[in-house]
Structure 1
């Protein structure tokens, strides 16, 4: 029964529409005419857009200075990095840069003396711009404006500003890393210089090459001791036969003994000093080699951090630069006319339904 009543109601509405078809058609045509008028009254807007891929967040120094690592430098960013870029595009920082660059408050006819002029300008800017990812994971920046040239300039400027913002963020972090490593490098350099000064002081006492000096001094002191013992033994033998030997033989033997003892005595201070200082020298030399290696590693890291801090590269793979559009994209005149015509048709039909079916019930 309910389905039959719905069918009967629909038939009644259709019959009423047929009876008043001329009125409905007239109202629909009037709506279409209003739509045509409105579509010409609305100021047209032109859309300019630029498309680019975002690169992966990789260190410049690691990508360029490391061997066989250019593949990372040329790789595209993943979805997380694309989301980060879209977040930057929506930041107030970027909006304010564009608003200031093109004086958009004046361009949008916003009174700067009114309440919340900055907020109004930002909202107008947001309504005229669109940032989205494409199906192929690229980023598209679209700008609509009544001035086609300005629309293209704004789209390209937003792209460049994004590049600048990403570079500043990365360099800001790299600067902190560079300063930390630089401080560590300077401290390590002071430590190494201090060790070198201590080694230099020990070298001035005569210790400068432990291995070679140890060998030479050991041989020298052993030879001196051997020579003294040999000459002493020779003198004792000569003393037993002193009456039978020429006077010169004894004199020469005692001279050689005195020379051997003098050589031995002259070597003893050097050997004693070498024994005292060599332990400290070996300790400092071992520490110096370790600290020198640490300093070299810090220098490599410092150079890499300096590259990341001071070098600047493009933060996007540009696919399409924004060009000045030739045709307006807003409003869609056909769509406006159809909407107005459809709205007029619905209003006419509802009015007829009211007059035919509802109003009689209240009378």
Structure 2
């Protein structure tokens, strides 16, 4: 397992992280519960495989995941880089709205659930347009000064919100976010438009959550087969949004073909594709069973061929939005390194469509 420095920080983080969204004795969204022994095993196995990054959030089963994970840490805290998140409303009270409401008490409760004195990375779980950026930056900086967190980051921000937050921090001599956690899969590649290159240009690590599309890209959900009721998607899970069902099913068919060729599974193909995408620093895995964890981590040794990658990229190529298509046509040489790789793909798509139009 390779490690990399996480953005402009000293955190030396493994390429794969273990997410704890499934760590819950109560079950999550109707999905089966995980006992403590299984959670302990998953933490131990991940560490044995070279994974040192563990990701959780206060909203996972309303804190229960952090309790389970906290017990699984045991005497291994010094081997771990732990990230968590705050921001979503957990109780039905007006005073619990807003990404910064009761942060001090929230972080104290989080540390108590985890049984640790600090966490390495604290994400603002979602953009809150009702709260001034200055307050967000100040609050996170205060937590760093108090020694409760080492670094902070953001999650699911748009490109402009990301830039606004980072720029305000730097211009006011504050500590900026060092990472962002975002949704990015071969089915949903919109992060390539601005969010991924923005993170790289700003010196922030790009961490990918839900790499298997909230369970949709496991190979269990096909044109002719619906998911089983014991899975997230089989229990009315509200995410994720599929923009083009025909494209989605064509992608699943292609992923199955590639998996069959390599004698691996669909999730392993998806993770191998994501692992080598430009500007991707970390991928957060989640698993409900030991077998799923073994399978997901084993994908790190899978090397897709150039033809495999071309087929996936070609099928799911993004239609460039303005001003990206205009810049790709007229000022490609002025693109930054972080965005140029995507521009090259836009050019190929546009040239192909132009040939069809004029033939």
TM range (shorter): under 0.3
Name the structure where helix makes up a greater proportion of residues. 1
TM-score normalized by the length of structure 1: 0.17
**Greater Rg, structure 1 or structure 2?**
1
Name the structure where strand makes up a greater proportion of residues. 2
Higher relative contact order (CA 8 A, sep 6+): 1
